[in-house]
Every structure is written in C-alpha cells, then in structure tokens.
Amino acid sequence: MRERIRFTFLDLILLIILFSGAGYILFRMKAELHYEWDWSAVASYIVRYDAAAESYVPGLLLAGLAVTFKLSVWSTVCASMIGLFMGLMKISKNVILKLTSSIYVGIVRNIPSIVFIFIFYFFISGQIADAFEFDHRADSVSWYGDLFSFLFASPPMFAVFISAVLTLALYEGAYMTEIVRAGIESVEKGQGEAADALGFSRYQKMRHIVLPQAFKRILPPMAGQVISVIKDSAIVSVISVQDLTFRGTELMASTYKTYEIWITITLMYFILTYGCSLAVGSVEKRMVRKGYV
Amino acid sequence: MKRSVLIVLSIILMFSGCAKKDHGNQLDEVKKRGVLRVGMSTFVPWAMNDKEGNLIGFEIDVATELAKDMGVKIEFVPTKWSGIIPSLLTGKFDVIIGGMGITEERAKKVDFSDPYDFSGMSIVASRKKAPDFKDLASFNKSEILIAARLGTTAAEAAKKNFPNAQLKLFDDEAQAIQELLTDRVHAVVASSPLPEYQAIKYSKRFYLPVEDTFENEPIGFAMKKGEDSLKSYFNSWIKKKTGDGFLKERKNYWFKTRDWEKRVE
C-alpha cells in the first residue's frame, strides 16, 4: 500500500528556493561568462547529412558515444571476470592466492585512477598489444576486419582500444573484487556448515550453496559499479582513446564552443548512465517479484 | 603450494616474453608496414576537425604529402599534447608532426628533423582587465595572470618573458581563451596566429598589446632517438619541399588566408 504524497506549504517554499537558486546561477553564467552561445552546429556533431554518401551518418560526438559504449561493455565483462576470480582468491585458504588478490586490490585502490592509467598504458598494456601484433593485421581480411571494427575498434585504433579496456577492467576489477568478497562473506556461516555436515566438497559447497545466495547480494552493488565504469571510462581520454570525452575536447579545441559541447556531452553520458540505472531498477524489481531476493 | 609458485613464475615468464622486440630501423619498418603513423594534437590552424569530422590543417597537409612521397598510407593518431612525447617513445606512432617547436629540453628525449616551419608567439590581452598595455614589459608584474597551454613552447615563452607574472596552464587553448573571456587572467600567450584570430573574433573585449610576434622558434618533426635513416629521409624531404615552394604555399593558405574557416564552422 503506497502512501500518498502530499504537497505542503513547506514544499512550496523549498521549490521556490531551489528554482530561484538555479535561476541565479543561470543569470550569473550569462553575466559573468561573456560567452557567445552558438548551438547551431551542435546537432551536426551528433548526426549529420553526408552529401557524398547521400545518407545520414553519425557525427563526431555520436561516434565517440559508440566508442564509450563499447569500451564500457568490454571493460565490464573483463572487470567482472577479474572481480569474480580475485574475489574467490581473496577468500581462498591458499596464502599465495590470497596475497596476490590483496596486493592487487591494495595497489589499485590506493593510487589515483589517472596515474594508474598512465603507468599501465605506457609501460605494460602497449607491450601486450604489441605482442599480439594487433596493429594492421585485421587490414587484410575483410569480413573479419569489419566484424572486429564493429565489435571493438578499427584496426589503427585497435591496440589503443585494447589497452584502454585492459586498464579500465583492471581498475574497476579491484572494486568488483571487494563486492564479490563482501557478497560471499555475507552468506551466513551456518549455510556453509550445513553443507559441510551434508558432506559437500568445497567446490560443491561454493557452487550450490554459497555462490547462488551471494549472487543475489552482489547484483545490486555490481550494477552500481557498471554505471561507474561508464563514468570512469571518460578518464581514458587522457591516453587518447577516441571516446566521447576525447572527441569533445578535440572539438572544443577546434571550434572553441566550450560550453555547448560540454553540456551536450553531459547529456549524452546522462542518457547512457540513466538508461542503465532504469534497467537495473527494473531487474531488481523483477527479482523481488519472483521471490529471488 | 608448489603448483601456485609454478603458476606465478609462468605468468612472469609470459609477460617478459611479451617484452618489446627491438625494432631497429624504423624507416624500413614504415615501408614494410605500408603505413606512416603520425602523432598530432588539435591546434588551430595546424590541425583541427572540419565539419565532416575529417582532420584538416597545415600539419595534416604536410604529413599527407610526406606519406604520399614515401609511397605509404597515412594514419593520424590524435593524442593529448601533454602525453605526446611519452606516446612517441613507447611506439604508439612513428613521428610527431604537430607544430612541435625544437627546444633543447625536448631534444634530450627525442630527435628533431631540420625545421620545416617557423612560428612566433603572440599575446592577446583583455581590454577590461589589462587596458592599454603597450609593451611586453607591462605584463611582467607579480599581479598579472597569464594563461597558456600546458606543455607548449608558448608556456615556456611566457615563463621566460614574464618571469614575475603568474602562469595558469590549461590542457587546450579553448580553456585558456575562456579564462580570458571571464576576466580571470590578464592575457593569453599562444603560437601566432591564434591570439590574432581571437582578437578579431572578440574585438570588443580583446586587443593585441604588441603587433609583432616574439620568440621566433623553429618547428620540426620529432622521432625516437637514433633513427638516423628516418631522420635523413625527413631532412631531404624538407629540403625538397622548401625548394619547390610546397611548404610556403600551404603555410600561406592556412596562416595568411581565412578561406578554410568555412570548412570548420
């Protein structure tokens, strides 16, 4: 039974204060910035008409959003796997496994993300990409190359894209490790003891008793972390991955339409992350309705 | 226990096995690969995006012509200016063609070709905050704030010419200009002709305290140290292109005329 929301006099005053505050900020923006607003070209950064191809093609910012999206998806996939393995390692009885996981989480969580990304990109990930000789290999085979471009990035950008995915995955993986560990440890001790009493092996105990229960508790914070991945992906623009933020800053340097472009980028990120929030919300509701939680 | 040690060891071995191969002769490598990878960063009018999202600008023309003469394809790698030298050193591209001024500091880390262009610095000031400044010396005071782009020779020129003034450094020029528009700094120093363009665009708010440029600096291609065959190839190419007037003609189009402006906005 839902409680009805009542609109009181106090709410009215609060609303007036909020709106006048926003109005004041807008007014100051206009008075202080001396900025010549020009929104005319912004639409063409999202979708523009290509005369040569006689069709509409994505503009620079939409292309950037696509890169951000792909980056987020692959990073989430890799980070979840890292998180699951490292989380299991952290609760393992083996000292070395436990130590590896603790050191990993300890290092990643205690250095600023931008420093981590620079160090990892310049010293480590480049060599990994080199070793696989990703560069220019996909050039020669067409359908294979096209599929690669669609799923990841075009061959010239492939190495840097993979570097970015790895870096982001390792970074977010540390947080997911802690989520997984906390989820598993939150399962009541009695559950494990009952499994032991029934003669389950350690693997069976994990697979059939602990993990299914932990999974339900992991899911909500994990979903929040996925939204974090999207937001944090902006940081890889410093290693020149052509994501939404990088495209935006390049456009600003070309056109000097600083605020129009920042505002547009903000809205585009918001659409992506808010979309995810809504999706997560509906999944959670469904789980409650079906009695999983 | 023993098994985990083995696993850790094999992981370490795997990584060391991936260590970079020694590339040796980069000119041969570029030709074999059939692609010249050029690192650049957006600087109006050296390199920028046009309305269709293609890269255009003086450096883009130079690099495209260079690749054509080498008989290879061109590939631009847009990179943040602050990270462009580390990216070159870690092999993300073969050469920087990005209006990079030849300085001693940079020459310690990279090799430069002969200069193919020269560029001066100029300064644009706010009418309101710094009215009627007639010479550079007026900006050399402790209460003066000057904005420039991080890691550029403009930032160094500002430091050298205005040692008493305070510097505010930004990731790109658009932010520096915005700082001037909001009157949070007195002036912006950048490579000519950017300050001149801004003074025309915002003529009511900005002016040029001195008409001439200062600190005329040579511009060269930057490459990894010790790539002598690549360097001598670039040098002879620059000699040839200076001789046949290509560089001068392109420079004229991008710096003296504003015909290209319609392509950007």
Interface contact flag, B20 A34, Cβ < 8 Å: no
Which pLDDT score is estimated for B106? 93
Which pLDDT score is estimated for A131? 60
Please tell me which residue, B51 or B133, carries the higher pLDDT value.
B133
Both tokens assigned to A175: 């947080």
Interface contact flag, B4 A50, Cβ < 8 Å: no
pLDDT tens profile A205-238 = 888 888 888 888 888 888 889 999 999 999 888 8
Q: How many CB pairs under 8 A join A and B?
A: 102
Q: Say what percent of chain B tops pLDDT 90.
A: 49
* Cβ neighbourhood burial of B117 (10 Å; 0-12, 13-18, 19+): buried
The answer to whether the beta carbons of residues B35 and A136 sit under 8 Å apart is yes
Which pLDDT score is estimated for B11? 52
Please tell me which residue, A18 or B260, carries the higher pLDDT value.
A18
pLDDT tens profile B183-238 = 889 999 999 888 988 888 888 889 999 888 888 889 999 999 999 999 999 999 99
Q: Return left, alpha or beta for A230; rule: phi > 0 is left, psi -120 to 50 is alpha, else beta.
A: alpha
Interface contact flag, B173 A253, Cβ < 8 Å: yes
Which pLDDT score is estimated for B13? 47
- The C-alpha of B174 sits at a distance from chain A's nearest C-alpha, in angstroms, of 5
Nearest-angstrom CA–CA distance, B52 and A41:
11
Lowest mean pLDDT among A105-109, A194-198, A287-291: A287-291
pLDDT tens profile A39-63 = 888 888 888 877 777 778 888 899 8
Among B108, B63, B110, B96, residue whose Cα is nearest residue B238: B63
Please tell me which residue, B39 or A122, carries the higher pLDDT value.
B39
Which pLDDT score is estimated for B20? 44
Both tokens assigned to A221: 């914070």
Q: What is chain A's alpha carbon radius of gyration, rounded to the nearest angstrom?
A: 24
Q: Which residue in B has a C-alpha nearest to residue A48's C-alpha?
A: B52
- Between B35, B90, B265, which is nearest A41 by CB? B265
Which pLDDT score is estimated for A66? 92
Pairing type for strands A47-50 and B55-56 reads unpaired
- Between B20, B51, B181, which is nearest A44 by CB? B51
Please tell me which residue, A24 or A6, carries the higher pLDDT value.
A24
The answer to whether the beta carbons of residues A164 and A71 sit under 8 Å apart is yes
Nearest-angstrom CA–CA distance, A58 and A56:
7
Among B101, B102, B115, B112, residue whose Cα is nearest residue B149: B101
The answer to whether the beta carbons of residues B147 and B185 sit under 8 Å apart is yes
List residues bridging with B121 in a β-sheet: B191, B214
pLDDT higher than 80, residue B56: yes
Q: Quick count: other Cβ atoms within 10 Å of Cβ B231?
A: 22
Pairing type for strands B222-223 and B117-126 reads unpaired
pLDDT higher than 80, residue A35: no
Report, as an integer, the average pLDDT of A187-215: 89
Among A4, A137, A67, A206, residue whose Cα is nearest residue B33: A137
Interface contact flag, A249 B172, Cβ < 8 Å: yes
Report, as an integer, the average pLDDT of A143-148: 67
The answer to whether the beta carbons of residues B210 and B138 sit under 8 Å apart is no
- Write out the H or E segment, with its range, that includes residue B126: strand B117-126
What integer best gives the mean pLDDT of chain A?
85
Q: Say what percent of chain B tops pLDDT 70.
A: 91
Among B164, B187, B198, B219, residue whose Cα is nearest residue B44: B198
- pLDDT-based confidence at A142, cuts 50/70/90? low
List residues bridging with B36 in a β-sheet: B74
Please tell me which residue, A188 or A157, carries the higher pLDDT value.
A188
Interface contact flag, A254 B172, Cβ < 8 Å: no
- pLDDT-based confidence at B21, cuts 50/70/90? very low
Contact with chain B for residue A246, Cβ under 8 A: yes
- pLDDT-based confidence at B24, cuts 50/70/90? low
List residues bridging with B43 in a β-sheet: B47
Nearest-angstrom CA–CA distance, A100 and A285:
37
pLDDT higher than 90, residue A86: yes
Which pLDDT score is estimated for B19? 43
The answer to whether the beta carbons of residues B206 and B124 sit under 8 Å apart is yes
- The C-alpha of B20 sits at a distance from chain A's nearest C-alpha, in angstroms, of 6
Report, as an integer, the average pLDDT of A69-98: 93
pLDDT higher than 70, residue B22: no
CB-facing half-sphere around the CA of A71: CA atoms within 13 A: 35
Which pLDDT score is estimated for B221? 95
Residues of A in contact with B4 (CB under 8 A): 94, 96-97
- The C-alpha of A12 sits at a distance from chain B's nearest C-alpha, in angstroms, of 35
A window 4-23, beta carbon within 8 A of B: none
Which residue shows structure tokens 């915005």?
B178
- Between B20, B174, B264, which is nearest A127 by CB? B20
The answer to whether the beta carbons of residues B231 and B225 sit under 8 Å apart is no
Q: Full-prediction pTM beyond 0.80?
A: no
Please tell me which residue, B8 or B199, carries the higher pLDDT value.
B199
Contact with chain A for residue B137, Cβ under 8 A: no
Which pLDDT score is estimated for A1? 53
Both tokens assigned to A13: 């005053």
The answer to whether the beta carbons of residues B177 and B216 sit under 8 Å apart is no
What is the signed CA dihedral for A215, A221, A224, A228, rounded to 10 degrees?
-100
Nearest-angstrom CA–CA distance, A91 and A94:
9
How far, in Å, are A155, A234, A246, B94 from residue A240 at the CA level?
A: 15, 11, 7, 16
What integer best gives the mean pLDDT of chain B?
86
- pLDDT-based confidence at A75, cuts 50/70/90? very high
- Tally of helices (H runs) and strands (E runs) in chain A: 13, 2
The answer to whether the beta carbons of residues B166 and B146 sit under 8 Å apart is yes
The answer to whether the beta carbons of residues B164 and B142 sit under 8 Å apart is yes
- Write out the H or E segment, with its range, that includes residue A138: none
Nearest-angstrom CA–CA distance, A280 and B8:
37
- Between B5, B77, B265, which is nearest A240 by CB? B77
